[in-house]
Structure 1
Amino acid sequence: MTETARLAPGDPAPDFTLPTDTGENLSLKDLRGRRVVLYAYPAAMTPGCTTQACDFRDSMASLKSAGYEVVGISPDTPAQLAKFRERDAITFPLVGDQDKSVLTAYGAYGEKQLYGKTVTGVIRSTFVIDEQGRIERALYNVKATGHVAKLRRDLGID
């Protein structure tokens, strides 16, 4: 299996400017000075991705009070992201990386195992980025269910 380059704590977080669910652009550099949880998910409105997004939505008060911004990234179009936001009342930005260049830069796109087969796709991942734009944590192959609660525990939130 071809291994995608992975990020590690201390690495600079790859910068990006991507379209959001509202049709505007969001740049990572615009979030400097704040801690960011960037999470990569395969597709809007699928069962696992919905569970994960709703877990982040339901944890926004505690994440925000601990000083974190949350951004979800997937290869979806802004229109798909807008439907997802509206359908599930998502309260944080969703960005679309249709050419998968940002996902690849984060090591969140490449070969993975899916139901026992090797496929190429989005590797469900979460990145905690510090105020200076450096990776604090890079978590790959996370589970959709229970991940947000574990992340909050690991970050000492709640």
Structure 2
Amino acid sequence: MWRVVTWAVGIALLVASPAAAFKRTAPGDPLKDFALSTPAGEPFRLSEHLGERATVLVFWAMWSPRSEEALGEFQALYREHRERGLQVVGVNVEHQDRDPGEAEKIGAWAAERGIAFPVVIDEDLAVFNDYGVVAVPSLALLGPDGTVRELLEGYSRMTRDGFKEEVLRALGVLPEGEAEARPEPSAPKPKGLAARYARMGEILLKRHMAARAERAFLKALKEDPDYDRAKDGLARARAVLAEEKGKGGGAPGAEAASMGTGTGSRGSAGGTVREDASAEQGRTPNPRAVRYVRMGRMLMDRERYESALGVFRKAAELDPAYREAFEGWAEALEKLGRTDEARAVRERLPDGPEGAA
């Protein structure tokens, strides 16, 4: 009997509303207005561009593979339903410190993918923090007056269809209480204990135990390196850990480091999970380079090696003495089969205590 009760409680935690992912925003909240600029430098105020029936905010970044997927799918929805009163706004949350000319790169990136709805840049992440976004991408559905109607953390296959249905209901395309007809997904059954470890990780995340959740997701990926649910969970856990460390929360980062190095855990891309060795050895690397390395690791875990390559290269440019960046750069090249280039990068590895990682 108690086993049944325990299982039921676990399931309830897993299907809890994704609104909990937005730390400072919940359904029913009034409009959180903001004024940002487009990549071309034009001013944009949200309250002046709300859709007649619904507005979807997409918090995205170029380094996030799921962001590209979310933007593409909502571009299709926008094209099909904008005459019905749908507005979509892409809020770029690349990072807090920007390089000269980066706005133009963001605009070009969106244009190359045919994004026709407004794109704005949250340069100092003020909007990101005001809404309390945790994962990238994340989405918010607003009503005609800007009232928050629905929230979506990440863009997993398990939750995004339900969010799209809410958008269609807001537009009157789908009647209230009716689900959109779609074929049942034929996802392969996860191997070994992967599903159990992934469920454990999700429960730990909901309990704000990100470091322990990261360890659970890594165990899931050890059982099944292709398990998307575990990959998504690992990315969310690492995003939370990065946010906590950015706010000065040293303890969570230290716990994550002990999990990565003490057990020799490895992600699906084969890279050892560890905190930055340079910090452990007393040298503080460029903070922006550290963020890029974290992004690179997440992309490696998702097997997006080409994207990871560019991110690690950027980290190495920002801090030429940061060994972690060069190691990631070389590993990405090896995964792409470019062994000669990887060997050349390894020959450039900075000497010193960082190599002790």
The whole-number CA distance in structure 2 between the counterparts of 1:62 and 1:25 is 26
1:26-105 equivalence runs, <5 A: 26-32=44-50, 34=52, 35-41=54-60, 43-44=61-62, 46-76=64-94, 77-105=102-130
| Cα shift at 1:37 | 0.6
The whole-number CA distance in structure 1 between the counterparts of 2:111 and 2:158 is 21
2:56, 2:139 within 8 Å by CA — same for their partners in 1?
Answer: yes
Matched residue pairs, number? Answer: 142
Instruction: Give the match for residue 140 of structure 2.
Output: 127
Runs of 4+ residues deviating >4 angstroms? none
The whole-number CA distance in structure 1 between the counterparts of 2:122 and 2:78 is 23
| Cα shift at 1:9 | 1.4
1:49, 1:144 within 8 Å by CA — same for their partners in 2?
Answer: no
1:73, 1:94 within 8 Å by CA — same for their partners in 2?
Answer: yes
Instruction: Give the match for residue 24 of structure 2.
Output: 6
Gaps of 5+ in 1: 110-121
Report which of the two structures shows the higher radius of gyration computed on alpha carbons: 2
How does the TM-score come out when normalised to structure 1? Answer: 0.75
| Cα shift at 1:144 | 7.9
Gaps of 5+ in 2: 1-20, 95-101, 175-357
Letter in 2 for 1:135: V
Q: Looking at both structures, which has the greater relative contact order when contacts are Cα pairs under 8 Å and sequence separation is at least 6?
A: 1
| Cα shift at 1:136 | 1.1
The whole-number CA distance in structure 2 between the counterparts of 1:145 and 1:10 is 23
Change (3 A) 1:145 1:72: farther
The whole-number CA distance in structure 1 between the counterparts of 2:75 and 2:32 is 24
Q: What CA deviation, in whole Å up to 9, does each residue of 1:123-146 have, x standing for no partner? A: 421111112121111222333898
1:124, 1:143 within 8 Å by CA — same for their partners in 2?
Answer: no
The whole-number CA distance in structure 2 between the counterparts of 1:32 and 1:79 is 25
The whole-number CA distance in structure 2 between the counterparts of 1:140 and 1:73 is 15
The whole-number CA distance in structure 2 between the counterparts of 1:95 and 1:144 is 26
1:48, 1:145 within 8 Å by CA — same for their partners in 2?
Answer: no
SS where residue 26 of structure 1 aligns?
strand
2:51, 2:86 within 8 Å by CA — same for their partners in 1?
Answer: no
Instruction: Give the match for residue 156 of structure 2.
Output: 143
Letter in 2 for 1:18: L
Letter in 2 for 1:81: I
1:38, 1:126 within 8 Å by CA — same for their partners in 2?
Answer: yes
2:70, 2:155 within 8 Å by CA — same for their partners in 1?
Answer: no
Letter in 2 for 1:36: T
* Higher strand residue share: 1
Instruction: Give the match for residue 218 of structure 2.
Output: none
| Cα shift at 1:52 | 1.7
- Aligned alpha-carbon RMSD (Å): 2.6
SS where residue 98 of structure 1 aligns?
coil
The whole-number CA distance in structure 2 between the counterparts of 1:126 and 1:46 is 14
Percent identity of paired positions between Structure 1 and Structure 2? 25
* Higher helix residue share: 2
How does the TM-score come out when normalised to structure 2? Answer: 0.36
The whole-number CA distance in structure 2 between the counterparts of 1:51 and 1:99 is 24
Instruction: Give the match for residue 165 of structure 2.
Output: 153
The whole-number CA distance in structure 2 between the counterparts of 1:60 and 1:106 is 23
Change (3 A) 1:33 1:48: closer
Letter in 1 for 2:78: M
